[in-house]
Structure 1
């Protein structure tokens, strides 16, 4: 590794300048005015893959934004690694909070600031650079490599699942590697082995055929806002447990090893409360510790409420309709569609007298879990040890990346989440950045992983 480290040290400036080029492209997938920028980013990555020696490089158009595919298949008996990443980014609002323009990459305090720096252009680019480093220094790769890089992750990857199901033979591999997560702390690597799934619903309550005057009808007819609050309050008990029947049927308790891992990570409750401006951390199932609640337990959250008069001043009406948006974060073994059905049934069966209830089902995403003792997970842990001098911690992530489960199921291959971001790098927020220490060490770690799984 020392020779590779020296090689990368000499190429550091050149590598960072190339990353800057990619970060300058405003490839915002959710805004139609950036459609040309999406194509430009796809072309930039495609050309880079060709230049480093990847073969059969394609820009595959979809109904939305393009997918980039490339491969280097030269070993008959060696494992094949499929690298997934995304080149699209979040919008930049509010712009006035950025210290430097979001698409003019700037380096401050050994960090590169730009939209997409850590999510996910910077981390995805580590894999391209690792392949380039090995090909330039060794003349070959220790394993076979495929790339699948999309431009729609930030809008839910609507076209990638179909691409996976239609191209299983093309994408066949022994392991899928994704760098779109974070480390535990500076200098402390982490392997995320679990992601929560999700499902969404919207509930609407209707009473009379119009809003009514509160002086003429107040006290005599039902108020849709009151009934909605009554209905929503039935979803949880006083300790934060979800009251929906069978909601927890498929939830597994953590193993003793997992519980010990969480304890070993340490948790400073007072520090978190101070940073959030809170006086306590109650919420969710209060009989579980906070780190468990936010990563390993399912949730049901009310994300939005509206009904009645919303404008300035007072309007004395009794609203005839009220609405709420609900999302759940789900854990391993829970089925999003099943949970949607259970919540819908609960809301309909608990409808207050004097109203009609309509429940609309929204997006879903499956949870994901890879066993910690998986051979590929252990090779990744060894690679982190080689470069960072520390074994990684194993953590469950409270968020969702639904496409991870799609890769696992469609390709029947283990998925390894090798993150190199840090929790405080402002992904999705102003002043997003990526620590350059992890830029170089990330490339080295990926090189080490590829060499380890050759054996």
Structure 2
């Protein structure tokens, strides 16, 4: 390894953390019920960083939502490979702010200095800084001998990437590349460099049941009138059996099982029930739905259904009321081989068939993302694996992921069968999407070094 490069990364860590912290301060939540001014502010902040880094052709690529994706480029020579660097600058809501130990939108170092807390630290504003830092390092060491680098920083990944397909279609010539690095995933464990090779797809529906025009006194009216809260619970319970297996007919048609090589790779990771429980904060009394040797399979290669929100009345103002309506948002995760649109339609039809008593049922759907599987035989995967192993001083693992990155499949649909390298800086303790999200700073440093080594290898 280039020891000078390693030293340069280490010496600049305070600057990288400062830049990341400035992005974390912007509450760029891309959900419609939040102020979208901050997403635009975040895009402007990324644009300014691009300008300071000397990128050219900087521009906003804006979908119908108005949430800017930021583009910039640093080109060297047509003879060099072109790498498209993806991350996103929007974030999830802070969730229950009273459960945060720090302010969600104020980057805060842990007492031991190893973790940086704040919404977006790991998912995914660290990805932006990683790309920019690696660019600066390779330009300093290789000048114009490094690869061509194009940056695309999305503004609505967390809300489903609804306009990203249109951006890629309209700007395919601008974004043309030989490979993509999607810096929005993570490592199997702290200090274990990982490249993700499979992603689950996702979709979601919102269900609202209504039985009366307004809430009613429960003593005066309950009994003859069905309780929409109980009806909704029964519908949700009918989606799966006691082990979480999905009961919707034909839902899993087309499911592609993992290969023998993939199964061997999963086994080599050494996942145990104790590790999984500890990483997920699973209460000791809670039993898992699968045995220990199926944990990774259930998480990476099987579909699941999750109730992500539910509302019947209001917890803080609960009274003796027969509620007029009940609401739930139901998310589905789809394993390789499954189709998001088809599975969403099956879910909607199944729910409608379960609604009793003539209760009004309104269902709205969200844009889904298909599962993703990549072929790791291209030399770029070998180079990235070697670069990460060198930076982390630990062998690189090829892993799956139960989450979804809509852009991964969209890149393939746009550019064909080019290498799409899924990397990132999340770890089992980072709590992305939950309260007290954090970034493990030693891996932040190693991740920057790994990407810089990869760029140098392409030189």
Q: Same fold (TM over 0.5)?
A: yes
Quote the residue 1:436 is aligned against.
441
Quote the residue 1:86 is aligned against.
88
1:249-260 pair list within 5 angstroms: 249-260=253-264
Larger gyration radius, structure 1 or structure 2? 1
Distance 1:20 1:334, change over 3 A: same
**Aligned-pair CA distance for 1:250:** 0.8
User: Counterparts of 1:334 and 1:48 in 2: how far apart (Å)?
Assistant: 39
Distance 1:71 1:356, change over 3 A: same
**Aligned-pair CA distance for 1:253:** 1.2
Deviates more, 1:250-259 or 1:220-229: 220-229
**Aligned-pair CA distance for 1:28:** 3.8
User: Counterparts of 1:47 and 1:219 in 2: how far apart (Å)?
Assistant: 62
Quote the residue 2:304 is aligned against.
299
Q: Give the TM-score, by structure 2 length.
A: 0.85
Q: Per-residue displacement from partner, 1:299-348 (whole Å, max 9, x unpaired)?
A: 12344555689864535x5x776554422110122111111222233334
Deviates more, 1:343-352 or 1:115-124: 343-352
Superposition RMSD in Å: 3.3
**Aligned-pair CA distance for 1:161:** 2.1
Q: Do 1:380 and 1:418's aligned partners in 2 also have CA atoms closer than 8 Å? A: no
Quote the residue 2:162 is aligned against.
158
User: Counterparts of 1:62 and 1:221 in 2: how far apart (Å)?
Assistant: 46
**Aligned-pair CA distance for 1:416:** 0.8
Local SS of the residue matching 2:120: coil
User: Counterparts of 1:239 and 1:416 in 2: how far apart (Å)?
Assistant: 34
User: Counterparts of 1:32 and 1:224 in 2: how far apart (Å)?
Assistant: 25
Distance 1:279 1:93, change over 3 A: closer
Deviates more, 1:269-278 or 1:339-348: 269-278
Quote the residue 1:182 is aligned against.
186
Q: Per-residue displacement from partner, 1:346-404 (whole Å, max 9, x unpaired)?
A: 3344555x435646241122221212434433322121122222222222111222222
**Aligned-pair CA distance for 1:279:** 2.4
User: Counterparts of 2:199 and 2:273 in 1: how far apart (Å)?
Assistant: 23
Of residues 143, 146, 158, the one that matches 1:139 is 143
Of residues 377, 384, 389, the one that matches 2:381 is 377
**Aligned-pair CA distance for 1:450:** 1.9
Is 1:3 equivalent to 2:4 in the alignment? yes
User: Counterparts of 1:211 and 1:31 in 2: how far apart (Å)?
Assistant: 27
User: Counterparts of 1:22 and 1:308 in 2: how far apart (Å)?
Assistant: 36
User: Counterparts of 2:12 and 2:269 in 1: how far apart (Å)?
Assistant: 35
**Aligned-pair CA distance for 1:273:** 4.3
Q: Do 2:217 and 2:320's aligned partners in 1 also have CA atoms closer than 8 Å? A: no
Q: Do 1:307 and 1:322's aligned partners in 2 also have CA atoms closer than 8 Å? A: yes
Q: Give the TM-score, by structure 1 length.
A: 0.86
Local SS of the residue matching 1:276: coil
Quote the residue 2:107 is aligned against.
105
Of residues 346, 365, 379, the one that matches 1:362 is 365
Q: Per-residue displacement from partner, 1:201-256 (whole Å, max 9, x unpaired)?
A: 34455668888998899777766555545544443334432221111111011111
User: Counterparts of 1:15 and 1:200 in 2: how far apart (Å)?
Assistant: 36
Q: Do 1:171 and 1:411's aligned partners in 2 also have CA atoms closer than 8 Å? A: no
1:119-130 pair list within 5 angstroms: 119-130=123-134
Question: What are structure 2's unaligned runs of at least 5 residues?
Answer: none
Quote the residue 1:279 is aligned against.
285
User: Counterparts of 2:205 and 2:38 in 1: how far apart (Å)?
Assistant: 33
Q: Do 2:219 and 2:320's aligned partners in 1 also have CA atoms closer than 8 Å? A: no
